[in-house]
Amino acid sequence: MVFLQRLFISFIILLSVCPSLEVWAGDKFVAGNITITGNKVTRESIILRELAFQTGDTLNKSQFDELILNSRSNLLKLPLFHFVTIDSLSSGNPGIVDFIVDVTERWYIWVWPVFELSDRNFNTWLENGDLTRLSYGLFFQQENFRGRLEKLNFKIKLGYQQEVTLLYEKPYLNRQKTIGAGSLISLSRQRETGYITEKDKLEYIRADNFMLHTTDLSVFVRWRPDIHLSHTLQLRYNKLSISDSLMELNPNFTQDQKQHPDFFELSYLLRADFRDQRSYPLKGWYAEVLMAKTGLSTADDYNYYSAKLILRGYHEFSKDWHLAGSFTGRLVSDVALPYYLSQALGYKRDYVRGYEYYVVDGRNFWLAKLNLKYTLIKPAIKKLKWPPTDKFNTIPYALYFSAFADAGEVWPEVKSVSNSLSGKFLKGIGVGLDFVTYYDKVFRAEFSANGRGETGFFLHFMAAI
């Protein structure tokens, strides 16, 4: 009897000292206090918005690891943090679990010099190597303005090409943090511009005076009902002013040889983002649908519909082997587009690898990419002694070997004496190295071969897919 009494008293003492035993006794528990640490700038409400659980939620024990993983992934996809850890601990109350979310913030305010080349990409500049076409200036960027995820960018560029751009975005306007808005003002003028495509390459013309002036204004409203989905409605105004000499070189640069064409455009963008990270995803998927109506009244110089679809998927076979694939397609209503609005393959991220030196103009196109990646250096962290701040001295890095295959096509075929890639099936294969480091930087070195039998070594500064 004395033994049973002592056993009972010992059991009571054990529960009082280790209440966590009671916390995990059942299949469900309640999320208690969520403590945020490390956020010297970022408001707690911004961090709590991205968590897959909130205080008071009833959670399943079987889903615990997935909730932690998803919450951490959501926070890392914001341009705010280098590292995020989420730990659980006993609250001292049966059935309630507290959480600690610790973040390492990035450096949010950047003022850096701007040195830009007039070419479409770094590889086309290497082909020419002309430093006289350099533009310079200053770029002010604040990614986390007032600690509320607001974005404030100001760019002034002088020299060969000149530009002034101001962007402001406020992601949350309402208490539920589902509605945001922003605006963009961009004014530019160019002494050199691509004015025509010859032999499937963009030809440039330069002059002492400015040949092309562009005004681009837009306002947008974004609805983000949950963490993974967003809907953006944008109203844009665009105007060009073109010199006489440019119009003489290519009368089809604008429609009906207008030197001051302008138009309004209304667009809707749907994004679904289920990737594990933003800059170099290894798991998950991403989708984007953009629909636009260019020309909203009879006063607009252009009037057509367009739609663009982007699909990207990422699969992890093991810790070392990964597969990534993407599909991009664009459709434009059956109208005659002016030259400067007919850019298809060869611009920004829409290109078949191996064809970096070429462009293909037209209304519609599709593009497919496939990457098989092997991890040469697993994601790791290098801690430097200087500077004495985690914002810069803690450097993540990883290195991947990739083998890839791309294909694409622009249609309908545009008959041309000097251009041969329109309406043709384009393909490219190759291998490369991808180096990933902090502040979303990705450096790619690739060797590829295209359908023309040409080979080349190319450098890029963002993930291929």
Q: What is the pLDDT of residue 110?
A: 74
Q: What is the pLDDT of residue 130?
A: 62
Q: Which helix (H) or strand (E) holds 127?
A: helix 122-128
Tokens describing residue 401: 């070997």
Q: What is the pLDDT of residue 62?
A: 82
Query: What DSSP string describes 82-122?
Result: EEEEEEEEE-SSTTEEEEEEEEEE---EEEEEEEEESSSSH
The partner residues of 410 in beta bridges, in order of sequence, read: 365
Question: What is the dotted CATH code of the domain comprising 15-105?
Answer: 3.10.20.310
pLDDT, average across residues 83-91 = 88
Q: What is the pLDDT of residue 116?
A: 61
Q: What is the pLDDT of residue 9?
A: 42
Q: How far is CA 427 from CA 233, 329, 402, in A?
A: 35, 16, 17
SS3 assignment for 147-168: CCCEEEEEEEEEECEEEEEEEE
pLDDT tens-digit readout, 272-297 = 999 988 889 999 999 999 999 999 99
pLDDT above 80 for 357? yes
Which of 58-62, 305-309, 369-373 is the least confident region? 58-62
Provide the residue count of the chain: 465
pLDDT, average across residues 405-413 = 96
pLDDT, average across residues 351-372 = 96
CA distance 167 to 234: 14
| pTM, 2 dp | 0.81
pLDDT tens-digit readout, 165-177 = 999 999 999 988 8
Mean residue pLDDT of the chain comes to 87
